[in-house]
Structure 1
């Protein structure tokens, strides 16, 4: 039967979804899919597996990854990996390089290797200045060819474009306009045309084109899903003509719970996630931690970074010289290692974005761990502040784009050494119900069926 969530909506169990509704035939177009290590990959790998378990046929067109089969089938789920292999091998090497940034695991460079790195860096900067709509644009043609051939061979009920990257939206739009009008859904993890700080392309060159294409996609799509109300409100203001199409489907808790009961405080702080220049930088956290260390004469507190920190490695390097072994950079690691790191943490750290409409997907996993969380944000309107304001085991520190004050340091230190009591498992389960698999899968299936009809 249906159970009420915290917000009052109905959460449908897997049994209900299979019994009450017709099976769907779904085509998902997503550049990111397992084994890629990013939020869109985690979310849609899990969702498509759940759809297939519920009896829906799911085909996925995604990017080719070295060492992975081009076609992979698991029951009703079929994955087609396509792309220019030389390009995807280069992209894989770049991912590996970023994953090792600051860890000390990268091999020493020869003079020739340093020169090659400089030349490659110049090529990448030039490419970033001219590519459109994003860095995945070369995937467009092989993805379009495969998606169109599948759509012509099968009568899909729904086509889903998963972004970022926006290239997947262009592929979906092409398929929609050339086939027997299946319903077309956009699933947006981040905005495209108005994304600030880390835009997907050169906004000075393509700003007007970005808005034109995103507006057209919204107009032609049958439905749009975003992960938080702030993004929906911003889109409704930018594209008011598409207001009725947009729906919030929250972050998905796809990682196994890492709940741990109370343990002696050791002072181990852990940040998990990607750092971005301008929109998610670690300077405030590092300065806050440095000042807290001055009162820790025994050297107990330590700060660990897990994830792609390459964009801010220079900032981390400066503080690592001052903090020594208190600051550890582990680079990009697998989900199992992330779960282990969160389980070993005493305090989890989140850094909000410099925008108010982006919600880091990991905040739900942080909450699910049952660990105390320090959330650092620039304004009270940050979506992470709103999320954690309802979570009784978090400390929100609002920076107002400044450096730590004495009050910030005092609150931070007190929270480290006197954290709140851990939540009970039953309380956490109730609080996290809207983000669980049954709830989020039910939200998507409801969206897909409504728009199909």
Structure 2
């Protein structure tokens, strides 16, 4: 089968959506399918360690547009150590600011007052910081006018390339990866040209985080997807229920394709990560992002109060309260920074307990849990116990759920610590049988069989 994937985010970008299709592309290719990918020509961030894309997968990288390419070009150059060169604009502003430094504001003319305010606004700003703030401002303004945001500029260039690939490749199935939502009209165009189209939504287009001024537009796009796509893949049953309710489409339009874990990953430590764990204390690990609803304060307090316990946190941007707790208790709270993907997987397999925090929507399952399932390590899921993630953990039998209260969490940590020190910690270098259906290998094979039946129909 010939499969053509349109995905704005793809390696070297290490986002969850990028990882999702990196694994699925790899496994679909291993099953003997011919896969081609159209993606944005963007540099990655972080330190890599992503799953390797097979050499026979053709990846077309298309210019992402002025706003994305310009800023990322500068960021890449800075990362590579290229020094910043002072521009004519910087020099002019500097001269104006210098000229008004020692003059009273009331004595300045109109140009002098303008220069005064320029100097005030730029005070303490390095050229790099000023450039980032300027680009961020322009992006925010453009995102108010362009749906779903400034990144939609890629669609113009992607559409032209997509048409030529469709003519030359003639795929059996076109898959578009949302988010961002501007990939969906590309799938609609492929459908109008006569190709079968699978829209990988994940979340609804109109989600809780959609900006209010784009909700109506998002609902229109979502409705058109539900009416025209041959198949809609989502990550949770809750999303299927929402889309069926909103748009009156049948359940046969949808396919549950969850996140997963790599069954073939080998946790042999190359020795390059330098991360060690203490055999005489309970070692917890959290790898992932923090949001307003994803609070870890109660667990941090429980770790601080429980002797012989420590938590290691690998995240790109820890909240201020986490930073403060780590500074106050460095022996109990260890910040690892943003780790390469493969290094994060090794870290998960070396610890005693993996920590997950429930999403705000009780019907959503954090994608990180599926990654945790492959580690063979007990999961501590922090939530009320009535969410879909708790049900998943109970079903596969690889962890427990505790309320987000420091006393309850401290009791659980004490129990596990005592079990570890006594050599009875029911952790595992094994995975329970209920975990296997969530491996990327099993997910890809099941998805292919479903698509094959759809194509033959």
* TM-score in terms of structure 1 length: 0.77
How do residues 225-244 of structure 1 correspond to structure 2 at under 5 angstroms? 225-244=233-252
Gaps of 5+ in 2: 46-51, 79-122, 269-276
How do residues 141-180 of structure 1 correspond to structure 2 at under 5 angstroms? 141-177=156-192, 179=193
1:324 aligned counterpart, secondary structure: coil
User: Shift of the alpha carbon at 1:31?
Assistant: 1.2
CA distance in 1, matches of 2:304, 2:17: 36
Distance 1:88 1:121, change over 3 A: closer
The equivalent residue for 2:300 is 289
2:3·2:35 contact (CA, 8 Å) conserved in 1?
yes
How do residues 200-349 of structure 1 correspond to structure 2 at under 5 angstroms? 202=211, 204-254=212-262, 256-257=264-265, 264-276=279-291, 278-279=292-293, 281-282=294-295, 285-296=296-307, 300-309=308-317, 313-349=319-355
The equivalent residue for 1:100 is none
The equivalent residue for 2:385 is 380
How many residues align? The count is: 393
CA distance in 1, matches of 2:53, 2:400: 45
Gaps of 5+ in 1: 1-23, 98-108
Distance 1:67 1:329, change over 3 A: closer
Distance 1:208 1:59, change over 3 A: same
The equivalent residue for 1:35 is 12
CA distance in 2, matches of 1:423, 1:270: 15
Q: Does 1:356 align with 2:362?
A: yes
1:290·1:323 contact (CA, 8 Å) conserved in 2?
no
Greater RCO structure (CA 8 Å; 6+ sep) = 1
2:319 aligned counterpart, secondary structure: helix
User: Shift of the alpha carbon at 1:127?
Assistant: 4.5
CA distance in 2, matches of 1:45, 1:340: 19
CA distance in 2, matches of 1:94, 1:255: 35
2:396·2:433 contact (CA, 8 Å) conserved in 1?
no
* TM-score in terms of structure 2 length: 0.76
CA distance in 2, matches of 1:447, 1:27: 16
The equivalent residue for 1:133 is 148
Structure of higher CA gyration radius: 2
The equivalent residue for 1:411 is 412
1:138 aligned counterpart, secondary structure: helix
Distance 1:115 1:149, change over 3 A: closer
The equivalent residue for 1:13 is none
CA distance in 2, matches of 1:334, 1:164: 22
The equivalent residue for 1:112 is 126
1:234·1:357 contact (CA, 8 Å) conserved in 2?
no
1:444 aligned counterpart, secondary structure: helix
2:126 aligned counterpart, secondary structure: helix
1:219·1:242 contact (CA, 8 Å) conserved in 2?
no
